[in-house]
Amino acid sequence: MKPVFVLLVSTAWTLTAAQYYYQGLMDYLENRLLAIEDRMQFWHEQSHRYHTELQDFKKLTAEAIDALSKEHSLLFKDLDGAGHRVDRVEREMDYVETNTSPRACANKADKVVEQGAWGLQESRGEEEAEEEWEEVHSKVSDCVEILSGIRSVKILKRVGSPKGMWTRDPRSSKVYVFNGTSGDDIYQFNSVRDFSSSPGVSSSRQIRLPSDWSGPGSAVYNGSLYYIQQEDKTDLHVVKYNLMSGSITDIAMFPVEGRATVYNLNPEIVADLAADDEGLWILYAASESEPNIHLAKMDPATLDIEEIWDTRCPRENAEAAFIVCGTVYVVYNTRLASRSRVQCLFDVNDMVISEEAPLLYFPRRYGAHASLKYNPEEKQLYAWDDGYQIIYRLTMKKKLLV
């Protein structure tokens, strides 16, 4: 009986201990769950607060963006109005400058032609004066026109690099495009219309030259291409290339000292070839220390130098130049591209006196001219301005003494 009692007591004690153990475990688990629930409740409250703050911030941001959008719209309208006003002011300036152009820094021939002719009439009589006038006039060509203004501007398209050159042969309708500042290829189009309607230069005829051309200072004249070739820092060659036969017909070395650039604002142009009613010309700098632009008349058939002049037009701030009837028009600008202007001219025939020299402004466009090529048949300039191809139609007048 006693062992049974002991067994019962032992069993009861074991059950009681197990009950206490499980009860404690349950209490622990319940406390942990309560703590987790409290933490979840805290996280929920924090999340709700953050969500509320985010919504408030989003609302404030939307209001600020809406206000900024309205201000941007107002500023855009103001800027658009200011742009229209600036354009109108520039057009008015163009009109005023065209009609009341101040005197430019033209080449002063000391009015030799004018004063000499009248002086001869007063001192020697009509017969001797007539003979002297014939002697003076024998040096003057039949071309008697001088630039008086820009009649219209046509922006044809934009193709190629910021700097380049395009021109048209005065004796044909073909257009030639020189993309960049050097290379051994050019692009030929049948007409200005074909070039204007083309998507680029891919549809043109590509002409591969036997040597590289240097700088956008080439010229096309009477079926031949004249371009500058400079193999090192001293030797400068003028190359004549027949566009029909596709071969070089002549090469002439041009005497220059060092690699002096003709235009200070376009250092890629070591020499600039030009063609007008009187033939082929080349603008260059005799040396790096020479402050003025020099001019030479060349025989287009043999490339012989016929005569050389010092134009007395400074290279400093010069952008480009072109020649009309033996008169050089030098275009100037500033380092930060502004409005290009003809501020200096030189007439090889000494027929343009200082009173005739207009300070002519080009309409404000995109940047600065990389090249200006005159076509004597059309009396217009083919310009390259920051990758845009532009045509300037010119107005002419007779020289004063003719």
Mean pLDDT along residues 69-86: 82
**How far is Cα 372 from Cα 369, in angstroms, rounded to an integer?**
7
Q: What length does the chain have?
A: 402
221/303 Cα distance (integer angstroms): 13
- Give the span between the Cα atoms of 185 and 179, in whole angstroms: 9
State which of 127-131, 139-143, 202-206 shows the largest mean pLDDT.
202-206
**258 touches 233 (CB < 8 A):** yes
**77 burial class (0-12, 13-18, 19+ CB within 10 angstroms)?**
exposed
Of the candidates 286, 285, 287, 283, the one whose C-alpha atom is nearest the C-alpha of residue 296 is 283
Give the closest residue to 164 by CA, choosing from 208, 228, 218, 207.
218
Q: Measuring CA to CA, which residue among 101, 109, 113 is closest to residue 402?
A: 113
> Which of the residue ranges 37-41, 148-152, 311-315, 364-368 would you say has the lowest mean pLDDT?
364-368
Average pLDDT over residues 391-396: 93
Q: For 201, phi and psi rounded to 5 degrees?
A: -100, 0
Residue 25's pLDDT band, with cuts at 50, 70 and 90, is confident
CATH code for the domain defined by 109-398: 2.115.10
pLDDT of residue 103: 41
Give the phi and the psi of residue 394 in degrees, each rounded to 5.
-105, 155
Inter-axis angle of helices 126-137 and 112-123, nearest 10: 160
Do the Cβ atoms of 287 and 304 come closer than 8 Å? no
* pTM attached to this predicted model: 0.68
